[in-house]
Structure 1
């Protein structure tokens, strides 16, 4: 059965470290601690005093001072790994943690998971080919030697790098290794750890190279694991759930994130807020629990993106006017049918195509699979359709040999509506206002990835008001835009009232409009 040796690098909050160590070792797992040598001596003494009696905890004897982005972080990790490998011969897996991490599954679940999946878990992507690094330096991290810390000695850091550039001191990467990059939160098997430690003793050239790279904790273990272990035995992901904001900062979890964290397909989570006492208490008790049934839906990242977007007031960039010099044509009439329930709009426009001679097209800016004629490739992807929206629409008018055209759009496409209404052509907009039951909104959340099949009802209940408000917000934005020739039909109105609106929108007879208003199962879900 799997037994985990946790590798903990820490520098503060001795109370939390003691609690974390006691919770993770209470069920028979182990911990090796490196406490930063630059931290308060009294804090280290408090940790030693509290944990020295625990046979499942060991400490790095020769602690070092660590700095963000420096080799010292890798060196401290290696010291902790060596101590764990020596002290805990029964450890089958070594799991990298920080003081901000906490288990979001039981030990029983974690051990069973590792027993059933004989592989190493570490993010490792090709350093040069992948887009893992979003901003800042890339190859400069490797090809120049870094002797100063960019955060604490910024001027010296960049002066040293500029000097190397001017003198042409670019260095070669060891020829037999392919540098990888990824998260530093890994879980490796004992055999892999032993191979890494042996490699560090034999390959002094590689060690010299990494000692002067920048942020080596994102490349050292990632590179060595790929070098030493068969690809089929590596799962290129971390078992620690973490998210980042748009500004590159880690998302912090608080007391009300307990259910969300437990539903993610990970063993640990980072970062837990120091002030989230109730969350820490609940997660601490969780690790030693037994027979817990986890409903894994794994919607955390999509939920965060969705909910973070709702918190912004200027949620879209300014409109992009592709081909502003072009026009659909003064004589042409574009009729836009807007509805959040796509099936409702599709039923209506299908009936329009049956009983009138007006060409209709469904959600061409929202669905890749929309049935479109071959227009020379401009129709081949959503990106192209949106970028060349006016050219696409002109070609559709010409293809159908008509001066009238009906298209469907999602209410979120306000920028497209603004663009078409600014054209010299005659643009009309029909907004279909539907009723949204909780059951429908639950299904909508699953369809768009905000929830999974196993998402708990409690999570859905908390999410429901936000989704409902978002739909209302989109509808209100369209009304506030003040478009001319803006018509609305409502599910709650009678067919007679809606027929009057449809007569004006489509410019058809009252009888034809009534047939449209009475479209079979129009508002059914």
Structure 2
């Protein structure tokens, strides 16, 4: 039967750490704690004293000062792992946790889950081929040496980077490893952990390489596991449920998220809000409970991808735009219809096509199957279209032999909108503002995989405000961007009122615009 050694990295709130250790070891599991050396000595002494008589708790033998993005986080983890391996010979699995994590399943469930498959659970995707890093530095994290903390020593951090870049002081990645990347929250088997520790003692070259990479906690274990373990013994997922906001910050969970968390296909959740005292109390009692049945609705992974895919587009670095030296053409007009309800935009686009004969294309950056002419392969995939967006648009203008073109974009494509509006061509935008009923939002959550047939009604009711707020936020971001030549039509406005904006958008007479806005059932779901 599985027995878990939890590897806990923490730096604050000694009372919460003590409670977490007592809860998780009460069911027979273990814990190895690394308490940041930057933290107050009195807090650490308090933790040591409270847990001194617990045989299932140990501490890293050497505490170090940790900093975000530094090697110190990996070294602290290794120190805690070494203590756990020595102290807990019966531990079968090692699970990485932070002080903000809490179990959302019972120990009984967690042990059965781990017993069911002989696998390591760790996100590990190809560093260069995957899109795990959405924006900002990629290759620069590895080929340059990083000695300073980007957050606390920003001037030194960037000065050293610029100096190395100017002098061409790049370095090679160790030739026999393939760098991987993923979440730092993993669960690994004992054999894997022992092989990793053995590797760290033998391969000083690899250790020296990672010690001066940037944010190595997202690459070190992920790379070594793939290097040491057969692919069919790795499940490339985390067992810790976490979500990110549009700012790249972890989403906190509150008291009313209890049922939502329990229905997810994960063992732990992060981050639990410090104010969610009722949630903490209920989850605290859960781990040691027996006979609890969990109805897994399984929308957790899709919900995670939905928010993380957007949330990792943080604002620490500006967006990367491809081919900024190119232009669509000064004399050309690109007209962009923006609408969350794609079927509404497509109806309006079809009517525009009939009334004006202006070439128009549906959601070419959102739907792989959008009909497009053969443009030599650049149109083949969404990834290619987005990467070579300006080249693609120039080729479409030329293919249709036109200076005017209408396309549709989803409100999430804000970076594309910024890029097109920064071009020397004339860019116009018309946002179609629709109303979203609960029935529509529920259907939307099914279509995009945020919910399934077994999702509890209570979970759906809590999910609806999140989706509605997400759509509102997308629209607000577009309006806050302050685009020139921007207009908006409303579902609640009359065709005559909307015709004013359509006429301005398309530069056509008002009576033609009215024919477009009078489209039958334009806003119907």
TM-score (norm 2): 0.69
Q: Deviation at 1:374?
A: 4.0
Residues 1:328 and 1:377: Cα distance change in structure 2 (over 3 Å): farther
SS of 1:138 mapped into structure 2: helix
Native 8 Å contact 2:397 2:405 kept in 1: no
* Most deviating of 26-35 and 295-304: 295-304
Residues 1:49 and 1:169: Cα distance change in structure 2 (over 3 Å): same
Aligned counterpart, 1:462: 465
Q: Distance in 2 between matches of 1:436 and 1:93?
A: 46
Native 8 Å contact 1:378 1:384 kept in 2: no
SS of 2:33 mapped into structure 1: strand
Instruction: Give yes or no for the alignment of 1:297 onto 2:286.
Output: no
Q: Deviations over 1:124-178 (max 9, x none)?
A: 4566777767436422349xxx6x8787888999999999999999988776555
Instruction: Give yes or no for the alignment of 1:31 onto 2:31.
Output: yes
Native 8 Å contact 1:37 1:63 kept in 2: no
SS of 2:142 mapped into structure 1: coil
Q: Distance in 1 between matches of 2:443 and 2:268?
A: 29
Native 8 Å contact 1:411 1:475 kept in 2: no
Structure 2 segments unaligned to the other structure (5+ residues): none
* Most deviating of 407-416 and 187-196: 407-416
Native 8 Å contact 1:498 1:517 kept in 2: no
Aligned counterpart, 2:144: 140
Residues 1:29 and 1:362: Cα distance change in structure 2 (over 3 Å): same
Residues 1:172 and 1:274: Cα distance change in structure 2 (over 3 Å): same
Q: Deviation at 1:21?
A: 0.7
Q: Deviations over 1:398-434 (max 9, x none)?
A: 48xxx9x8956358489599969x979xx99998775
* Structural RMSD (CA): 5.8
Instruction: Give yes or no for the alignment of 1:53 onto 2:71.
Output: no
Instruction: Give yes or no for the alignment of 1:226 onto 2:230.
Output: no
Residues 1:24 and 1:396: Cα distance change in structure 2 (over 3 Å): same
> Superposed, which structure 2 residues align to 1:370-385 within 5 Å?
370-374=370-374, 382-383=385-386
Q: Distance in 1 between matches of 2:128 and 2:142?
A: 8
Q: Deviation at 1:70?
A: 6.3
Native 8 Å contact 2:23 2:288 kept in 1: yes
Residues 1:478 and 1:437: Cα distance change in structure 2 (over 3 Å): farther
> Superposed, which structure 2 residues align to 1:33-112 within 5 Å?
33-36=33-36, 39-60=39-60, 62-68=61-67, 73-112=73-112
Q: Distance in 2 between matches of 1:213 and 1:363?
A: 46
Instruction: Give yes or no for the alignment of 1:10 onto 2:6.
Output: no
Aligned counterpart, 1:193: 193
Q: Which has the larger radius of gyration?
A: 1
Native 8 Å contact 1:358 1:406 kept in 2: no
Q: Distance in 2 between matches of 1:183 and 1:419?
A: 35
Q: Deviation at 1:508?
A: 11
Aligned counterpart, 1:287: 287
Q: Deviation at 1:6?
A: 0.7
Q: Distance in 2 between matches of 1:210 and 1:476?
A: 45
Residues 1:304 and 1:446: Cα distance change in structure 2 (over 3 Å): farther
Q: Distance in 2 between matches of 1:353 and 1:211?
A: 56
Residues 1:99 and 1:210: Cα distance change in structure 2 (over 3 Å): farther
Native 8 Å contact 1:32 1:83 kept in 2: yes
SS of 1:9 mapped into structure 2: strand
Native 8 Å contact 1:173 1:209 kept in 2: no
Aligned counterpart, 1:121: 121
Residues 1:58 and 1:124: Cα distance change in structure 2 (over 3 Å): same
> Superposed, which structure 2 residues align to 1:205-354 within 5 Å?
205=204, 209=208, 213=212, 217-242=217-242, 250-251=249-250, 253-255=252-254, 258-259=257-258, 261-262=261-262, 264-289=264-289, 290-298=292-300, 299-300=303-304, 302-303=306-307, 323=327, 325-328=329-332, 340-347=340-347
Structure 1 segments unaligned to the other structure (5+ residues): none
Q: Deviations over 1:188-223 (max 9, x none)?
A: 11222233344456x274587469645665555444
Residues 1:48 and 1:369: Cα distance change in structure 2 (over 3 Å): same
Native 8 Å contact 2:498 2:517 kept in 1: no
* Most deviating of 7-16 and 501-510: 501-510
SS of 1:94 mapped into structure 2: strand
Q: Deviation at 1:230?
A: 1.6
Residues 1:283 and 1:162: Cα distance change in structure 2 (over 3 Å): same
Native 8 Å contact 2:179 2:219 kept in 1: yes
Q: Deviations over 1:457-489 (max 9, x none)?
A: 222332354256458769989999777xx8969
Aligned length: 498
Residues 1:507 and 1:296: Cα distance change in structure 2 (over 3 Å): same
Q: Distance in 2 between matches of 1:154 and 1:501?
A: 47
Q: Distance in 1 between matches of 2:478 and 2:151?
A: 47
TM-score (norm 1): 0.69
Q: Distance in 1 between matches of 2:152 and 2:353?
A: 68
